[in-house]
Amino acid sequence: MSRLFGTDGIRGVANEEPLTPDLAYRVGRQLVATLRAERGTDRVRLVIGRDTRRSGPMLEGAITAGALSAGADCYAVGVMPTPGIALLTRALGGDGGVVLSASHNPFPDNGIKLFSSEGTKFPDPWEIEIETRLAAPDDALRATGADIGRLVAYDRAEAHYVDFLCGCFPLDLSGLTIALDCANGATYRVAPRVFRRLGARVTTIGVRPDGTNINAHLGALHPDVLQRTVLATGASVGFAFDGDGDRLISVDGTGEIRDGDYVLAIAGRHRAARGRLKGKVVVTTVMANLGLDEALRHDGIAIVKTQVGDRYVYEEMQRLGANLGGEQSGHVLFLDHAPAGDGILSALALLSVMRESGEPLEALAATMRKFPQVLVNVPVRAKPPIESLAGLAERVRRFDGEMNGGGRILIRYSGTEALARVMVEGGDGAQVRSIAADLAGLIKGLIGS
């Protein structure tokens, strides 16, 4: 049986199977039952928030009703970036946190993402227990009378989160013009408040959500509009967030896009030089550009790679005692400050390096030389094992031979969408593009949707 929970919670088209209000209601009940059993508590407290999708209130109402019926107290924080909900789960003494969001996915999608009491990703064994309970008769507590959970509208959530962010990096940003692209998502109020409080002149795009325009041609996945905005306004730097605010893509003052690899290279080298990089190690994923390896090793910084997914980066960081890690896609973890990837926090960390060094982002970015890298997403109708796709392994071996050790090929399925991802990297840009197109065409012919 396929798992309901993927690498980042339950994802799907809202109001289609499996992501229906009925499922959300049942997840709410079994989440409470699981937390009661695992944490040994009679009274469970949950923190619940969402992004700006039209389907958010529908799913929020359903999962809240389920949790209340099982006797949990629910603190509703409304529209809030995912990392803010993770933070508030810990700050409010929650036993768990719930985010209704599909992150960077298009607006018809939504998702149910769970956090632990520490604001970290929900443990895999607990997700499995919820799935097991969902498949069995419902034996969760059905509270009555005063045992029914309380619904608390926590109206201090946004102020609490803004205070936290400004406290992490109490910068003086006066004299800086910063362009923000909030993707019409969960950062649309919070991000401008943070940077204006710190003294920056702020220009914004993507701050008028209507329930259907989240991630639509804006944000971290579409930074071209931010590029034009930075150049048109003469901004010192631009920051683009995704729909739920946990990833960051930056644009420097010359209009060049700087992804998560640049954040890791800049922050890693800066912190190592000041003795603030624990273990002198940076954790990232197999998608990281080879240029990041080169930049970090130049300064004697070790680089450790995991499979794709910020939860795997976090687990490896915990194992190694590291305090900096993340993904090329823009999820970056600064564990000295927060337990989850946070786009606004990552932007502040970059600005702190700019302020301490006196260098603009374009100068700091010169610390890394990017190798040509192409990523092609192939919509698929099914996800059979990659190694079972006829002729693919042979084709990959042939191309590996042609690159003669000067590049690499990585093919995997998305954990949240019906996509096969083909990544090719090497020294010759034309060769990289040709190989990626060939492999994507082969996969499309075999399992394309």
Query: What is the predicted pLDDT for the residue at 8?
Result: 83
pLDDT tops 50 at residue 218:
yes
Mean pLDDT (the chain, rounded): 95
Residue among 242, 211, 185, 222 nearest 14 (CA): 211
How confident is the model over 220-234, as a mean pLDDT? 97
pLDDT class of 394 with cuts at 50, 70, 90? very high
Question: How do residues 124-142 score in pLDDT, each as one tens digit?
Answer: 899 999 999 999 999 999 9
CA-closest candidate to residue 70, choices 34, 39, 114: 34
Helix (H, G, I), strand (E, B) or coil at 418: coil
415-434, pLDDT tens digit by residue?
778 999 999 999 889 999 99
* 363 Cα distance to chain centroid: 26
Which one is catalytic: 55, 69, 101, 103?
103
Q: Where are the alpha helices (DSSP H) in 82-139?
A: 82-91, 124-135
Q: What is the pLDDT of residue 285?
A: 95
pLDDT score of 72: 98
- C-alpha angle 317/323/328, rounded to 5°? 70
Give the ranges where 100-180 is alpha helix by DSSP (H): 124-135, 157-168
Indicate the pLDDT class of residue 21, thresholds 50, 70 and 90. Answer: very high
CA distance 410 to 425: 9
Let me know if 352 is a catalytic residue: no
Of the listed ranges 55-59, 306-310, 348-352, 434-438, the least confidently predicted one is 306-310
- pLDDT of the residue at 78: 97
Query: Does 299 score more than 80 pLDDT?
Result: yes
**pLDDT reported for residue 256:** 97
Q: Residue 441 above 70 pLDDT?
A: yes
Q: How far apart are CA 84 and CA 90, in angstroms?
A: 10
Residue 102, token pair as written in the block: 């599909």
Residue 89 CB burial class (10 angstroms; 0-12, 13-18, ≥19): buried
- Spell out the domains of the chain, with CATH numbers in brackets: 10-155 (3.40.120.10), 159-257 (3.40.120.10), 258-342 (3.40.120.10), 373-447 (3.30.310.50)
pLDDT of residue 415: 78
Residue 66, CA atoms < 13 Å, CB-side half-sphere: 24
List alpha helices for 111-251, DSSP H.
124-135, 157-168, 190-197, 224-233
For residue range 236-262, list pLDDT tens digits in order.
999 999 999 999 999 999 999 999 999
Q: What is the pLDDT of residue 309?
A: 85
Residue 1 pLDDT greater than 80, yes or no: no
| Chain segment 184-214, per-residue pLDDT in tens | 999 999 999 999 999 999 999 999 999 999 9
